[in-house]
Amino acid sequence: MTDRLRRLGFALLGVLALVALWEGYKAIDGQILGWQLPLKADDQRMPHVATMVERLGDPERRGSDRSIAAAVAAGAWYTFQIALVGLLGGVVVGALLAALMQRLKVAERAVLPLIVMSQTVPIVAFAPLIAAWGGRVKVGSGEWQPWMSVAVISAFLAFAPVAVGLLRGLQAAPAASVELMRSLAAPPRAVLWKLRLPSALPYLVPALRLAAAGAVVGAIVAEISLGRSGGIGRLTLEYSRAATSDPAKVYTALMGAAALGIAMALMVGALDALASRNRPKDAVA
């Protein structure tokens, strides 16, 4: 509990430091020793943090009963659900690829470079292809829904960290323990579930954090690229159109996107705490 409180305290200090850096930059008007830095610190480009927070309580539109905070929360929740589906899909695909690469060395040499190369594909160009291909997919009487394209792109950015991290974790099992289980005629499935997978947990948790961040980024970028309404990505694009007259409104959507990423990170942290509660302290460390 003490360690968790310490982490929470450091996280809060990080947020306060970011706010202080923002306000400090505005206080010096973006100038250091008489030199003007590239980003000007006027209210048009960098509104005060207090102004952004106050803007959350204003109506989203003139005459609207819904506040900006409610709209941002609804958009973040919508994107969170899609990103969660994408994360789960990415974890499944990444885990299957990691198990295959660990079992077959030829698969590792063939698939691992492709996994790394896949993350260099520009999502903005990739998203319309996914939407077009998905529109032709039909399973029984079910039809492809637009949110599924966003989830696929989210999973695309999430599977690579899981595949690479879990592969390293599966390969990190002590060689003596592996030889012992093989000498006892343990089948490969038993070695995987009872030895390799528990040994891979310290590697899997950081991979899941990266995958969660990738899932959120993928969902937001896909919403913007595909014009999918309802999520925080599309809301950011809509609010950015008012950047000239109402710059603080744009940052409220960005705050929602940041909160979404923090929520995903907290979820992974909770899973880590749940999985490691019965493990020895030295193994958790």
Asked if the model's pLDDT at residue 277 lies above 90, the reply is: no
Mean per-residue pLDDT for 163-177?
88
Q: Phi-psi category of 104—alpha, beta or left, where left has phi over 0 and alpha has psi -120 to 50?
A: beta
| First-residue to last-residue Cα distance in the chain | 15
Q: What is the pTM of this model?
A: 0.84
CA 174 to chain centre: 31
Mean per-residue pLDDT for 262-275?
83
Q: What pLDDT does residue 144 have?
A: 80
Q: What pLDDT does residue 1 have?
A: 55
Q: What is the pLDDT of residues 207-237, one digit of tens each?
A: 999 999 999 999 999 998 888 888 898 888 8
The domain 48-284 belongs to what CATH superfamily?
A: MetI-like (1.10.3720.10)
Confidence of residue 14 (pLDDT cuts 50, 70, 90): confident
Question: Which of 264-268, 271-275, 278-282 has maximum average pLDDT?
Answer: 264-268
